[in-house]
Copies of this chain bind each other. A is one copy, B any other.
């Protein structure tokens, strides 16, 4: 008899699992539960529709519901799973009762950290998440003149840029001395801050939010530096693993709060896999568990989990976490550790920094690229990177993540070959310049 795989969650990890399971075993019965009214769209695009860079939410829908129905996926929309009984191999679904599984994939994603201040229950606090809510909020945004973004975490950073593009007076409030301070270094964010100021974004750094003020709807935000009158607030706080259901069922969580999985994306409980923002996985250099990676990580993990659930165990390797996003007029990105994070974790490093350019200096439209490389003292193996620039950041982060994965050193990067053609690339590759500067610093 065909096995039944139940997947809780219909985003990148869940849909990746569904596809991989069916690829491994075309006869498998895949049931997907999602709290939302849709699957197959990209939530990552929502800020760019709000910012009017993308002209319609329809563009974010990559596949219609028929596509999945045609593939034979049994998707239960707007359905909340209320419990998991791992011994009986069942889940509880209000209205459906007890539903049995042979293998379960937990892909419940993230939830935003709740602001623990008075007024957090007021209306007009926007948590960017699903496309239908985004469509409602987008209409509201038409009449918003003043907004606060609560916290300069990545989603807050994207939304600050988006609301500014839209012409809304935007206040970005964050308790840290620079944006995304847990994953970035201040020298990398400095051009972004300048670019936001040019866009009219008001930066309130080193500033705590003490309360949301108002009756029913938020009317002002009380901060440690005064009150800001607002029509709405975007809550751009940290993403936490959404694990209440799994934890209640006895699935073990790790130090980050993410579900613990082995290299095959198996949890602590037999026949239960997990993938995406709800799990933690080891960082490659240190083995330290990390959590809340990108949609491409979630999708890749989902494929491993789905494949395993369908009977073919595959392995997911430790991660080196290339990341990036557009902030103001710049692209920022990195790999594993910047100086701040390495310092916080007590990881020793040497560094090389350079300002390079993306195309020949005389070619119109060339962009500046700042590269910082962190390497292990002694071996000079790459352990992290931070970049900011006008183009070519994603591709360089991918390069450097592979370099870290493969144990490449500053020597390897310093003397790398690079394409030189005026309209495509400069004589000197910025990553190579940074590595050369790192070697000089070590030798002197």
Give the B-binding residues of A (Cβ under 8 A): 12, 42, 44-45, 48, 53-55, 59-60, 62, 294-297, 299-300, 317, 319-326, 331, 333, 360-364, 391-399, 401-403, 405-406, 408, 412, 415-425, 427-429
Contacts and interface: CB of A to CB of B under 8 A. Distances in A.
A420 B362 contact: no
A322 B419 contact: yes
Nearest to A401: B417
A362 B416 contact: no
B363 A324 contact: no
State the number of copies, please: 2
Nearest to A62: B361
Given A395-B395, A402-B416, A44 B295 contact: no
Interface hub of A361, A364, A398 (most chain B Cβ within 10 A): A398
Nearest to A322: B419
A180 to B, nearest CB: 13
B419 A294 contact: yes
Contacts of A319: 417
A329 B325 CA distance: 26
Contacts of A53: 363-364, 423
B326 A421 contact: yes
21 contacts: A42-B362, A44-B421, A60-B362, A295-B420, A297-B417, A323-B419, A324-B419, A324-B425, A325-B423, A326-B423, A333-B424, A394-B418, A395-B399, A395-B425, A398-B417, A398-B418, A399-B399, A401-B417, A402-B402, A402-B416, A402-B417
Contacts of A401: 416-418
Contacts of A55: 364
Contact of A394 (B300, B331, B421): B421
Nearest to A56: B362
A331 B423 CA distance: 9
A415 B300 contact: yes
A419 B333 CA distance: 8
A397 B415 contact: no
B360 A422 contact: no
Nearest to A303: B415
A96 to B, nearest CB: 31
A393 B55 CA distance: 27
Contacts of A403: 402
Contact of A408 (B317, B325, B394, B406): B406
A232 to B, nearest CB: 23
A394 B362 contact: no
A422 B42 contact: yes
Contact of A424 (B324, B399, B424): B324
A394 B62 contact: no
Interface hub of A48, A360, A393, A420 (most chain B Cβ within 10 A): A420
A59 B296 contact: no
A420 B54 contact: no
B321 A394 contact: no
Contact of A362 (B54, B296, B399): B54
Contacts of A408: 402, 406
B42 A394 contact: no
Contact of A331 (B361, B392, B399, B424): B424
Contacts of A42: 360, 362, 422, 427
Nearest to A323: B419
A395 B363 CA distance: 17
Contacts of A395: 392, 395-396, 399, 425
A354 B318 CA distance: 26
B419 A397 contact: yes
Contacts of A300: 415, 417
